[in-house]
Structure 1
Amino acid sequence: MSLKGTLGVAVIGTGRMGADHVRRINEVISGARVAAVADIDADRAEAVAAGIEDCTPCTDPAAAMADPAVDAVLIASPGPAHEAALLTAFERDLPVLCEKPLTPDAASALRVLRAEEALGHRRVQVGFMRRYDSGYLKLKSLLDAGTYGRTLMLHNKHRSPATPPGFTNAMLVNDSVVHEIDTTRWLLDEEITAVRVLRPAPSGNAPEGLSDPQLFLFETAAGQVVDTELFQNCSFGYQVGCEAVGERGTARIGDDHGVFVNSAGQWGGSITPGFVERFEEAYDRQVQRWVDATRRGEVEGPSCWDGYAAAAVCEAGVRAQESGERVTVELVERPDLYRSRG
Structure 2
Amino acid sequence: MDLKVGVIGTGFIGREHIKRINNKLSGAQVTAVNDINVEAAKSIAEKFNSKFYNSAVDLINSDEVEAIIVASWDPTHAEFVLESIKAGKYVFCEKPLATSAEETLMIIDEEIKFGKKLVQVGFMRRYDRGYREIKNEIENKEIGAPLIIHSIHRNKVPEPQFTTEMSIKNSVIHEIDLYRWLLGEDYKIAQVVIPKTSKNAEGELLDPQIVLLETESGVRIDVESFVNCQYGYDVRCEVVGEEGTLTLADPHQTIKRKKGKKSHPIFPDWSDRFSEAYDIELQEWINDVKKDEMNGPSSWDGYMASYTADLCSQARIKNEIIEIPTQKCPDFYCK
Pair in the same fold by TM > 0.5: yes
- Offset from partner CA, 1:66-107 (integer Å, 9 cap, x none): 221211001101211011101110111101111111111212
Q: CA deviation at 1:319?
A: 0.6
Are 2:13 and 1:17 equivalent residues in the alignment?
Answer: yes
Return the offset for 1:256.
6.2
- Give the 3-state SS of the residue equivalent to 2:192 in structure 1: strand
How far did residue 283 of structure 1 move? 0.3
Q: Superposed, which structure 2 residues align to 1:178-327 within 5 Å? A: 178-255=173-250, 257-327=252-322
1:28 is matched with which residue?
Answer: 24
TM-score (norm 2): 0.98
Supply the AA of the counterpart residue of 2:17. Answer: H
**Unaligned 5+ runs, structure 1:** none
Question: Which residue of the partner structure matches residue 95 of structure 1?
Answer: 90
State the SS of the aligned residue for 2:65: coil
CA distance in 1, matches of 2:38, 2:326: 39
Give 3-state SS (helix, strand or coil) of 1:197's partner: strand
| Cα displacement (A) at 1:118 | 1.0
> Mean alpha-carbon deviation: is it higher for 170-179 or for 111-120?
111-120
Superposed CA deviations along residues 234-268 of structure 1, whole A, max 9, x for unmatched, are 00000011111111000000456411221111112
Residue matched to 2:114: 119
CA distance in 1, matches of 2:260, 2:93: 47
What is the match of residue 3 of structure 2? 7
Return the alpha-carbon distance in structure 2 between the equivalents of residues 152 and 114 of structure 1.
35
CA contact (8 A) 1:199 1:215 kept: yes
Given candidates 55, 59, 63, the residue that maps to 1:60 is: 55
8 Å contact kept, 1:126–1:302: yes
> Cα gap change, 1:168/1:144 in structure 2, threshold over 3 Å: closer, same or farther?
same
SS state at 1:152 partner: strand
Distance 1:326 1:17 in 2: 35
Q: Is 2:155 the partner of 1:160?
A: yes
Distance (whole Å) between structure 1 residues aligned to residue 86 and residue 160 of structure 2: 37
Q: 1:129 aligns with which of 115, 124, 128?
A: 124
Once residues 59 and 333 of structure 1 are traced to their aligned partners in structure 2, the CA distance between those partners, rounded to angstroms, is 40
Q: Which runs of 4+ in 1 moved over 4 A?
A: none
Number of corresponding residues: 335
**Helix, strand or coil: the match of 2:202?**
coil
Residues of 1 paired with 2:65 and 2:206: CA distance?
44
Distance 1:185 1:166, change over 3 A: same
Residue of structure 2 in register with 1:333 after alignment:
328
Residue 30 of structure 2 aligns to which amino acid in structure 1? V
- The amino acid across from 1:31 in the alignment is G
Q: Shift of residue 182 of structure 1? A: 0.5
Partner amino acid, structure 1, of 2:234: Q
Q: CA deviation at 1:317?
A: 1.0
Q: Which residue of 1 aligns with 2:140?
A: 145
Task: Please state if 1:51 is matched with 2:47.
Answer: yes
Structure-1 separation of matches of 2:318 and 2:197: 17
Letter in 1 for 2:37: D
Distance 1:149 1:59 in 2: 55
**RMSD value over aligned CA atoms?**
1.1
**Unpaired stretches in structure 2, ≥5 consecutive residues:** none
